[in-house]
Chains A and B, each alone.
Chain A
Amino acid sequence: MDLDFTPAELAFRDEVRAFFAKTVPAEWLTRVRAGLRLEPAELIAYQKALAAKGWGAPTWPVEYGGPGWTPAQNYIFESESARAGAPIQFHQGLELIGPIIFTYGSQELKDRYLPGIINADDWWCQGYSEPGAGSDLASLRTTAVRDGNHYVLNGQKMWTSYAQVASHMFVLARTSQEPKRQQGISLLLVDMKTPGIAIRKIETMDEKYTTNEVFLDDVRVPAGNLVGTEGKGWEYGKVLLDRERMVCSATAIHLPQVLDGVRDAARARKVGGVPLIETPAFAAQLAQLEIEAMALETMVLRLLADLASGADSGPRGSMVKLRWSDLYQRATALWMDALGPEAAHFRALEGEAPADMPYGMQGALYSRVTSIYGGSSEIQHNIIARRALGL
C-alpha cells in the first residue's frame, strides 16, 4: 500500500501540467469552477486540442485511439486538469456511447463513429429518459419497428442534453413487446439530420440552455445502426448507466476547483472590515468541505486502484456519486454565501454584474440536478442497499 507516484509518473505529471498551462484560457475559469459546462464551441476546441496531442480519449484502449494510460496516469491527467482550471471533457460520446460501440458494435460502426468522437467531429446526445420513464427507465415506450433495411422510430425522449447541437443521438427503443419490460429494448445510433426529429427546449432553473424534449416521428434509421443484438439494448444501457456513475470519479477529482472558487470569493469580500476567509465561522465551513473532499478523493483513488487490478469495486461508484453531488451542492451554496448581499445581483439590468455572476449562482442552481440525473440519490441508495448490502 502506498500513495507515491513513480519517477515515470512524476515525469508524466510534468508533461500534462505543461500542456494544460498553455491550453486553458483564463476566461473559462469561473464557469469551470462553478461546475458549468462551457459553450459547445469551446468544448469542441478543447477536445480537438486534446486529440491533437493524442489524449482525446484518456480512458479508451489503444486500439480504438486511447493513450493506453494506467489508472494512475488517468488520475494524474484529471487532477492536473482540475488544478489548471480545465473543464471536464464532454462525456456523452467519450464515456457513454463510445465504450458501448467499441465493446458491442460492429466493425463498421467502430470505423464510422469512434474517430469522430475523439476528434470532436461528431457530438453525441443521449436518448434514454422519457416523460414516463425517468428513474424507472425500463418503462420506456419509444418504439423501433423494422421496415426493410430500416428501423422506424416513434416516441418522445426527455432530458436530452445538447440535442440542440448534437450531430448524433443514441436511443433506447422497444423493438418488440416482451413479458419482461427489460427485454425487447434495442440501442440505435441516429443521425440528428434524419427527417422526423423535432426538438423542444426545456427551460431549467439555472437559465442555461442545456436540455430538451426530442420528438421522434417516423424517423428512419438504417438497420446497420443497431448496436449489438436486437432486443439486448437494456444490457448495454445498463453498462452505460454504470459508466455514467464512473464519470463521477472524474467530476469528483474536479471538486477542488469549486472550493478554489469559494476560497477566492471569500478572500475578495470583507465582513466587518475583515476578509471573510479569516472569519472563524466561514473558515470552519470551508474546512469541513475540504475534509470531506479529501475523503472523497481517496475513495476515488481506491476505485481507480480496483480498476487497475481488475477488482470489482461493488457499489463504490454509487457512493462516489452520492458524496460528490452532496459536496458540489454544499460548496456552491457556500460560494453564494461568500458573495453576501451580491448573491442577489444575478444579472445586471444594465452594465456589469458583480464578480462571479451569473456563473457562480448558475452553478449553485445547476448543482441541484446532480442529485437527480444519472440515477437520482434515492436510486443510488437503492442500488447500494440491494447490490452491496443484500437488503
Chain B
Amino acid sequence: MNFEYSDEQRMLADSANRLGADLWPSSDRLKLLEHFDDLTARTAAQMAELGWLMLPIAEDDGGLGGSAVDVMAIMEGVGRHLIPTSYVANAVLVPALVSGDPAAADLLAAIGEGSAKAAAGLLEPDGGYDLGWVECAATGSGADWTLTGEKLHVEDGADADWFVVTAKTDAGISLFLVRADAPGLTVSRFRAIDQHRHARLKLDGVTVVLIGEAGAALPRVELAVDKAICAHLAEAVGSMEAAHAATLEYLRTRKQFGVAIGSFQSLQHRAVDMAIALEEARSMSYRATLSLSLSLPAAERRRVVSAAKARVGQCGLYVGRQAVQLHGGVGFSDELIISHHLKRQMMLDCAYGSSEHHVARFVAPQVLGA
C-alpha cells in the first residue's frame, strides 16, 4: 500500500501547479476571463508542449500510456488553479473510447499533438445520466453508417472538432465518430457557470464511422467514463484544497468585533469540518483512481467509482458553500476566487452523473450497467 506520488508524478504535479500559477493566477479572475479565448489557447498549447495530451493515450495508440494516477497528478493542479480546460473530455475520455481502432488513429494523433479537439456525446434527452439509455439509431454496415438522433449534453464539447457518440445498431449499443462540420449535424453550444463550454447535438442522417465492434460498446463506454470521473475527482480535490486554504487565510486576517474572525469557535469548527471533507474527498479520489489499475470486475469498479463520485461531489459542495459562507459578502462577489471554486464544484458534481445518479448506480450496478 502506498499513497505517495512517484518522482515522475511529482514532476507532473509541479508542472501543473506552475502552469496554473503562471496562466491562471487566482488574484484577478475576472480580468483573466476577459481574455478567455487567448488564455485557453495558450493553456492548450502548453499542455501539448508538456506532453500532457499524449500522456493518457495508450502506447499502442501512439501515446505515452500514462496511468490514472499520472492524470490525477495533473488534475489536482488543474483544480487548484481552476484551469478551465477540456482536457478530461478531450485527452482522457475520448482516447479511452476509441483506443485500438485504426479508424481513430488520425484523431488520436491529432489529439496527442494538440491539433484537434474531441468530445463525447453519451447522454440523451430522456435518459438522465444513464450511459445505457441510447435512442440514437445508426444503420449501415462496414464503412458506411448513417446516424439519427439527439445527444442532450456533450461535456466540454463546444469547441470540439470531432465527436464520439453512442447509437443503437441491430447489434446493440455502438460507438461512432463524426466530424463537427459533418452535413446533417447541428451543434448547439452553451457556456456553464464555471466557464466550461458544452454542446448539444442533433444528428439527422449523418454519415459516421463505426468505432470498435458494433453492439459491444457499453462496457468500453462505462470504463472510459469512469476514467474521466476519476480525473474530475482529482480536480475537485485540488479545488477544495485551494478554497479551504483561502478560507483559512481569510479567517486569520479578517477582523470583526476587534478580533480575527478565526477566533470564533463556531467558525473554527466549520473550518475543521471543511478540512475533514477535504480529507474524505482525497481518500475517495485515491481509492477510485487506484481501483482503475486493479483489474477489478467491471461491476466492482463501477461501484467504487460511483461511491467516490457521489461522496466527493457532496464534500466538494460542502467545502465550496462553506468557503463562500465564511467569506461573507466578498465570497458571493465574483471578484475573489472563492465563488469560482463553488461554481466549479457545482458543475463537477453534475459532470458524468450527479451524486444522486451515482448513489443509484452504487446500489444497483447490475441494473444500470452493462
Q: Are B123 and A135 in contact (CB under 8 A)?
A: no
B190 & A134 in contact (Cβ 8 Å cutoff): no
Asked if B190 and A346 sit within 8 Å, CB to CB, the answer is yes
Contacts of A373 in B (CB 8 A): 329
Min CB distance, A192 to chain B, in Å? 21
Would you call A205 and B334 a contact (CB within 8 A)? yes
Asked if A139 and B256 make an inter-chain contact with CB atoms under 8 angstroms apart, the answer reads yes
How far apart sit A129 and B256, CA to CA, in the bound complex (Å)?
12
Any chain A CB within 8 A of the CB of B200?
yes
Q: Which of A272, A369, A377, A378 contacts B127 (CB 8 A)?
A: A272
For A347, the chain B residues whose CB sits under 8 A away are: 190-191
Asked whether A381 and B129 contact (CB < 8 A) given A203-B30, A337-B354, A372-B332, the answer is: no
Q: Does B58 contact A (CB under 8 A)?
A: no
- Find out whether the CB atom of A349 lies under 8 angstroms from the CB atom of B191: yes
CB of A24 within 8 A of chain B?
no
Q: Flag A129-162 by CB within 8 Å of B: 1 or 0 each.
A: 1001011100100000000000000000011000
The A87-135 residues at the B interface (CB cut-off 8 A) are 129, 132, 134-135
Q: How far, in Å, is B326 (CB) from chain A's closest CB?
A: 9
- Given the interface pairs A159-B329, A270-B125, A337-B356, the reply to whether A344 lies near B189 with Cβ below 8 Å is no
Indicate if B263 sits at the interface (CB-CB under 8 A): no
Contact A378 B256 (CB under 8 A): no
Q: Is A166 in the interface zone, CB < 8 Å from B? A: no
B39: Cβ under 8 A from any A Cβ: no
| Chain A residues in 8 Å Cβ range of B333 | 202-205
B257, CB-defined interface residue at 8 Å: yes
Q: Tell me whether A1 is interfacial, beta carbon within 8 Å.
A: no
B305 to chain A, nearest CB (A): 18
Complex A-B: 29 CB contacts under 8 Å: A129-B329, A134-B256, A135-B257, A139-B256, A139-B258, A203-B30, A204-B334, A270-B125, A272-B128, A272-B133, A281-B356, A337-B354, A340-B354, A341-B123, A343-B347, A345-B192, A346-B193, A349-B197, A350-B188, A351-B188, A364-B346, A365-B193, A365-B343, A368-B332, A369-B329, A371-B325, A373-B329, A376-B328, A378-B266
A267 to B335, CA, bound (A): 37
Partner of B200, one of A202, A282, A345: A345
The answer for the CA separation of A74 and B191 in the assembled complex, in Å, is 42
Indicate whether A271 reaches chain B with its CB closer than 8 angstroms. yes
Q: Does B152 make an interface contact (CB < 8 A)?
A: yes
B185: Cβ under 8 A from any A Cβ? no
Among B130, B158, B191, max chain A CB count under 10 A is at: B191
Q: Chain B interface mostly helix, strand, loop or mixed?
A: mixed
Contact indicator A158/B329 (Cβ below 8 Å): yes
Contact with A along B181-199 (1 / 0, CB 8 A): 0000000111111001110
A41 to chain B, nearest CB (A): 25
A42 adjacent to chain B (CB < 8 Å): no
Nearest-neighbour CB distance to chain B for A360, whole angstroms, equals 11
With known contacts A272-B127, A368-B324, A344–B339 Cβ distance under 8 A:
no
Query: Within the assembled complex, what's the spacing in Å between the Cα atoms of A347 and B189?
Result: 9
- Write the residues of chain A forming the contact surface with B, with a CB cutoff of 8 angstroms: 129, 132, 134-136, 139, 158-159, 202-205, 207, 270-273, 276, 281-282, 336-337, 340-351, 353, 361, 364-365, 368-369, 371-373, 376-378, 381
Query: In chain B, residues 332-370, which have Cβ atoms closer than 8 Å to a Cβ of chain A?
Result: 332-335, 339-340, 342-343, 346-347, 350-351, 354, 356, 359-360
The one of A134, A281, A349, A364 that contacts B328, using a Cβ cutoff of 8 Å:
A134
Q: Given A204-B332, A272-B130, A342–B152 Cβ distance below 8 Å?
A: yes
Q: At the interface, yes or no: B126 with Cβ under 8 Å from chain A? A: yes
Residue of B nearest to A341 (CB): B153
- A372 neighbours in B (Cβ, 8 Å): 324-325, 328-329, 331-332
**Within the assembled complex, what's the spacing in Å between the Cα atoms of A203 and B126?**
36
Which residues in A have their C-beta under 8 angstroms from that of B133? 272-273
> Which of A205, A343, A368, A378 is most buried by chain B, counting CB atoms within 10 A of its CB?
A205
Is there an interface contact between A341 and B350, defined as CB atoms closer than 8 Å? yes
Taking CB atoms, residues of chain B closer than 8 Å to A343 are 346-347, 350
- Shortest C-beta distance, B23 to chain A (Å), equals 21
Determine how close the nearest CB of chain A comes to the CB of B95; give it in whole angstroms.
22
Within the complex, which residue of A205, A273, A376 is in contact with B126, where a contact is CB–CB below 8 Å? A273
- Given the complex, which residues of B lie within 8 Å of A204, measured CB to CB? 332-334, 339
Check if A203 sits within 8 Å of B350, measured CB to CB: no
B329→A344 contact, CB < 8 A: no
Report the separation of the CA atoms of residues A139 and B255 in the bound assembly, to the nearest whole angstrom: 10
Contacts of B130 in A (CB 8 A): 271-272
Tell me, yes or no, whether B117 is within 8 Å of chain A by CB: no
Q: B126 near A344 (CB under 8 angstroms)?
A: no
Decide: A344 near B325, CB < 8 A? Known: A349-B191, A378-B266.
no
Output the nearest chain A residue to B339 by Cβ-Cβ distance: A205
Whether A350 lies near B189 (C-beta < 8 A) is yes
Nearest residue (CB) in A for B355 is A337
B168 within 8 A of A: no
Question: Separation in Å of the A332 CB from the closest CB of chain B?
Answer: 11
What is the CA–CA distance of A281 and B364 in the complex, to the nearest angstrom? 14
Whole-angstrom distance between the alpha carbons of A110 and B74 in the complex?
A: 64
Q: Are A271 and B126 in contact (CB under 8 A)?
A: yes
Nearest CB in chain B: distance from A19 CB, A: 35
Asked whether B105 is an interface residue with its Cβ less than 8 Å from the other chain, the reply is no
Interfacial chain B residues near A282, Cβ < 8 Å: 356
Q: How far is the CA of A306 from the CA of B321 in the complex (A)?
A: 35
Decide if B267 is an interface residue (CB 8 Å cutoff): yes
Closest to A348 in B: B190
Q: A202 — which chain B residues lie within 8 A by C-beta?
A: 333, 335
- Nearest residue (CB) in A for B123 is A341
Contact A344-B335, Cβ < 8 Å, known A135-B256, A349-B189, A373-B329: no
A21 CB to nearest chain B CB (Å): 34
Contact B198 A345 (CB under 8 A): yes
Cβ-closest chain B residue relative to A369:
B332
Which of B193, B267, B321 lies in contact with A361, CB distance below 8 A? B193
Cross-chain contact A281 with B196 (CB below 8 angstroms): no
Tell me the residues in window 25-41 of chain B with beta carbons closer than 8 Å to chain A beta carbons: 30
